[in-house]
Chain A
Amino acid sequence: MRNSSQDTVSRMQPAALDGKQADAGALLSLEGITKRFPSVLALDAVSFDLRRGEVHALCGENGAGKSTMMKVISGQYQPDGGRYLYKGNESRFRSTREAEAAGIAIIHQELNLIPHLTVAENIFLAREPRKGLFIHKPKLVEDARFYLNRLGVEISPDAMVKNLSVAQQQMVEIAKALSLKAEVLIMDEPTSSLTDAETEKLFKIIRELRQEGVAIVYISHRLDELAQIVDRVTVMRDGKHIATDAFADTSVDQIVARMVGRSLQDVFPPKTAVPSEDVLLSVRNLSRKNVFGPVSFDLKRGEILGFAGLMGAGRTEVARAIFGADLIDDGDIMLGGQKVTIRSPRDAIRHGIAYLSEDRKSNGLALKMNVAENITMANMQAVSGWMGHISFSAEARAAAEYVKAMDIRTPSIHKIVRLLSGGNQQKIVISKWLFRESRIMFFDEPTRGIDVGAKYAIYKLIDELSAKGIGVVVISSELPEILGMTDRVAVFHEGKLEQILNTRETSQEEIMQYASGRHPLQA
């Protein structure tokens, strides 16, 4: 069995040689690929090519179309137009399985492993070596160990995936891709949850794979790390291909300029709100064991406060705790100087606090229900009588008012919200809380998964809310967003609120310093 696996390697060598000889020949190329969704043109005649033995970075803002393009390449989506050439032949993969069989593997940002199976079982899922009717367990384990050894990682093939760290799980995904004899490997934000040391190790493996002739598409928001591994860079914006260059011929600044496509002033509306001095909400020493704390901050009337930090820094957890969605162990929450007890979202809502979840689909909307029903969900008493009977005319009036005021693009207030675009869904969630007359609103990643045009509308809306005197907290992983729209920034690191900075006096660099736990003064 060992032999068969080694054959794999030797079979990969010639490919590498071919790659070097025919450097200009593309292994995979897309020509004028178009992909349309009901409300968005996600890919607008995009062209892209990938060579053997290169690491090709794909850059663009959220919603630029990177993920859609990767899904087209990996067979998850079918293009609506354009040509897809793989190894010189026009190809059409109808599923990820077909693409995998042809040697194209994708490692998603949210890893796709089954927690209750072992490492070996995951690597060979649906391709288990068999002996007669049964799984050939020794061979399964041995083959898995072979690929793990090739990566130089110390993970037992018998370990349960649920017991592995995220970095280890990523290695398992890479081992799986190797076992698929992948010639094209797509990595979507592979370093977003890795430590520096783990990232180093990943880069080493990526370089080795490149040596072996594997073509790697590398998607990352961390532009500063590109220099270490990337050969070429393609920038996308608004579903269009903007430029492809050798990394040596471009710079991070140029990449950023192309990604954004305009200066910061055009991306964010001018701030009209001026925060007042009245403190709406003060949080003192709030903590939850092993999750966050102690956290203290004030939110003023009409202020937009940003929560910045890396993934897992505890920003969402703090917001959810204040909203009563999760319990707290210690600390005080004061509203207008009065100490309040919040044990459930019901309590928080009664006090005028709203929380707009980062995951609209699973926490924010009842997708099977219609626009009107979602808008009134948090404030049914406003549209119903003393016996709890709903006044449909009052409900329709309220819904129509918000559809108009928020410019929600829907054919009718009776449209099921699942059928609307991300931007419109986000506006419906915001309408729900406005209808509830919230005074304090937490926005958790308000523009995630929303296309660029709709983002501006959301920023404008948040600014208008603060101008009305609502205190807004914006949790965002995109620093330009934090810098572009907030008055102050609270930076979190590993559950602690490290520092509150004045947005006008800070910089992306300073925020990153605090977010990574290095105090600039000490550094």
Chain B
Amino acid sequence: MTEHQKDLIQKFAALAGLLALILVFSLTSDAFFSMGNGMTVALQVTSIAYLGIAATCVIIAGGIDLSVGSVLALSGVVAAMVVKAGYSVPVGMFLGLVVGAFCGFLNGFCVTRLKLPPFIATLGMMLVARGVALQITGAQAISGLGDAFGELGNGSLFRVVKTTANGFPDVVFPGIPYPVILMVILAVVVAIMLSRTTLGRHIYAVGSNSEAARLSGVHVTRVTMFTYVLSGTLAGLTGCVLMSRLVTAQPNEGVMYELDAIASAVIGGTSLMGGVGSISGTAIGAFVIGILRNGLNMNGVSSFIQQIIIGLVILLTVWVDQMRNRR
């Protein structure tokens, strides 16, 4: 069996697991398998997916980013504060992204220049960014941001609504939410970047063996920096989308999201040792987590039990992966 075939089998195994989940939940809950719920799941998965895509790049390059949950909160509140100060929504959100990118840059700086271990560098940023978000808002949520602020998170494309005879609106098709469209675009773009460009190849090379990459002329510092800036920027995007969905900016938003992101990458076959991973795997991983949460909710399973189950799923998938590699 070639490596390629093994790879496919691994991917299909994850995909089969996902389909099995869908099947089980469809049987146990009537409301699960519907267009409406499908869109809900997709929408719920978006945050994990954005962060998971970023985490995949960072982890393939041999790093880790623990700061994304805090960075998304900081970016979101900055965007809201700028809008509150009278600037337009695009300006606010753009500045939110810039703040995220800057946090990512600082992470990259600490890792590549100060030579801090990625775990420590981003742990520091996790505390700092959260602290700044709480400090500048006085730990208060920012609300009253106006409908325009909510458009990105709540709007959708191709929404078809008919007015029925008695005057009530009838939703023929709920539309595809903007965050979902964004997720698909991001996944495709980053997947192409990773698998088909020299930058992507260099990310794998750095994660597989950074010294060999450096001695082959790969600009290791720049590649590593890129992954952290990408991670920060996507955290910023996640913050803007999340706050937009709530039309409220919460400095306490996104706690522990970094772990969901890492979990989705790991479930999708990304190796924490670096050098191995794919966006398609991470997408499956994100949906496994999202569907588990949604399906368990619909079956009335408490959130505590949900945590236990997701924890076990992570252990199981990584163990299976280890077994596969040992052969």
Contact = CB atoms under 8 A, between A and B. Distances in A.
Nearest to B273: A368
Interface in A372-419: 373, 377-378, 380-381, 384, 387-390, 392, 411-412, 414-416
B216 A362 contact: no
Given A345-B217, A414-B4, A416-B3, A366 B212 contact: yes
A25 to B, nearest CB: 42
A43 B192 CA distance: 47
Interface residues of A, number: 36
A345 B216 contact: yes
Contact of B212 (A344, A346, A363, A416): A363
B78 interface: no
B142 to A, nearest CB: 40
B4 A367 contact: no
B211 A349 contact: no
Interface string A148-160: 0000000000000
A286 to B, nearest CB: 19
B197 A387 contact: yes
A432 B214 contact: no
Interface in A323-339: 323, 325
A365 interface: yes
Contacts of A388: 197-199
B37 interface: no
B205 A369 contact: yes
Contacts of A367: 208-209
Given A355-B215, A414-B3, A416-B3, A366 B198 contact: no
Contacts of B218: 377
Given A345-B216, A346-B217, A366 B204 contact: yes
B217 A368 contact: no
Interface string B199-225: 101101100110111111111000000
B209 A362 contact: yes
B34 interface: no
Contacts of A349: 216-217
A364 B215 contact: yes
B231 to A, nearest CB: 20
A428 B202 CA distance: 18
B225 to A, nearest CB: 15
B163 interface: no
A368 B211 contact: no
Nearest to A381: B198
Contacts of B217: 345-346, 349-350, 378, 436
A349 B214 CA distance: 11
B216 A368 contact: no
B208 A389 contact: no
B2 interface: yes
A357 interface: yes
Contacts of B3: 370, 414-416
A368 B212 contact: no
A371 to B, nearest CB: 10
A390 B198 contact: yes
Contacts of B201: 373, 377, 380, 390
Nearest to B209: A366
Contacts of B216: 345, 349, 377-378, 432
A363 B2 contact: no
B316 to A, nearest CB: 23
A378 B202 CA distance: 10
Interface in A406-452: 411-412, 414-416, 432, 436
B4 A380 contact: no
Contacts of A345: 214-217
A357 B197 contact: no
A387 B199 CA distance: 10
A365 to B, nearest CB: 6
A371 B302 CA distance: 49
Contacts of B69: none
Contact of A363 (B192, B197, B211): B211
B71 interface: no
B276 A368 contact: yes
A234 B249 CA distance: 78
27 contacts: A345-B214, A345-B215, A346-B217, A350-B217, A357-B212, A357-B215, A363-B215, A364-B212, A366-B205, A366-B208, A366-B212, A368-B204, A369-B205, A370-B3, A377-B212, A378-B217, A380-B202, A384-B197, A387-B197, A388-B199, A389-B196, A389-B197, A390-B198, A392-B196, A415-B2, A415-B3, A416-B3
Given A389-B197, A415-B2, 20 more contacts: A323-B215, A325-B214, A325-B215, A344-B214, A355-B215, A357-B215, A365-B209, A366-B208, A368-B276, A373-B201, A377-B201, A378-B216, A380-B202, A384-B197, A387-B197, A389-B196, A390-B198, A414-B3, A414-B4, A416-B3
Interface of B: 2-4, 192, 196-199, 201-202, 204-205, 208-209, 211-219, 275-276
Kindly list the 8 A-B residue pairs having the minimum CB-CB distance in the complex, ordered from nearest: A366-B208, A349-B217, A378-B216, A380-B198, A368-B275, A388-B197, A368-B208, A388-B198
